[in-house]
Amino acid sequence: MPQSEQFTKSVDSVDAVVSRMRALAAALPERDGIAVFNRVYLTVTEEVDRHIDAGRFAGPRAAITLDVRFAERYLAAVDAVMNERRPPACWRPLFQFRRHPGVRPLQFALAGINAHIGHDLALAVVDACRTLDCEPADLEDEFDRVGDLLVSLEERIREDLMPGPDLLQIADPLTHLLGAWSLERARDATWSAARALWALRRLPDLAEDFTERLDAAVGFAGRMLLTPLPD
């Protein structure tokens, strides 16, 4: 099967999401920026799957729906790139800089998290609400638990991908750059954006404008995170 066709299948379960991500990991060079983020996201998704199987979500159907709707956004962006279509603005910096030698793996990972949390998650909450016929408030526990898993993994991601101990110096450009971005702040902003989009669902023109501006703003932040740095 041609590479452009490997990632165009829809997903309807967490297992299917994991399978798609593993196929993507096998197809891309390890240093590719998409591959770097994909490994991070695969780790998170496998952890969510374990929590669902262990009964740690009060509403497993809601957790599965949110997780799948969330992943679909990322996989659709990858599909667009593989098939030479234009992805959402939030993903463009990562896809454009994915092979840049001056961008560090940690930058790729956090730029992907920025795009996926800052833009995709808000839209996924709305998608899940429509699928489940519920309000965002009904998904808040699942949203918070997934967010907590991401926050718990962020420190490990930073430790694993930091190039060396010199980056503990506050004057180091990478330390300075990445210190300006916070997953917790991004998650809080995303919940507010999801609630706003839900409130605007009967005003499609306003909802579209809000979504486009959110997409552009998150893409701008991603471009800053991917600033090439000297060795």
CA distances from 217 to 59, 167, 197, 198, 209 (A): 32, 28, 16, 19, 12
Q: What is the predicted pLDDT for the residue at 6?
A: 45
User: What pLDDT score was predicted for residue 31?
Assistant: 93
pLDDT recorded at residue 160: 67
Contact indicator for 128, 184 with CB cutoff of 8 Å: no
Q: For residue range 68-99, what is the model confidence (pLDDT) as tens digits? A: 999 999 999 999 999 999 999 999 999 999 99
Give me the residue label for tokens 């497993």.
60
Q: Could you tell me if 197 and 128 are in contact, meaning their C-beta atoms sit under 8 angstroms apart?
A: no
pLDDT below 70 — which residues of the chain? 1-10, 158-172, 176
Residue 201: per-residue pLDDT: 95
Structure tokens at 190: 């995303």
Of 50, 191, 69, 217, nearest in space to 129 by CA = 69
Contact between 74 and 120 under an 8 Å Cβ cutoff? The reply is yes
pTM recorded for the entire structure: 0.88
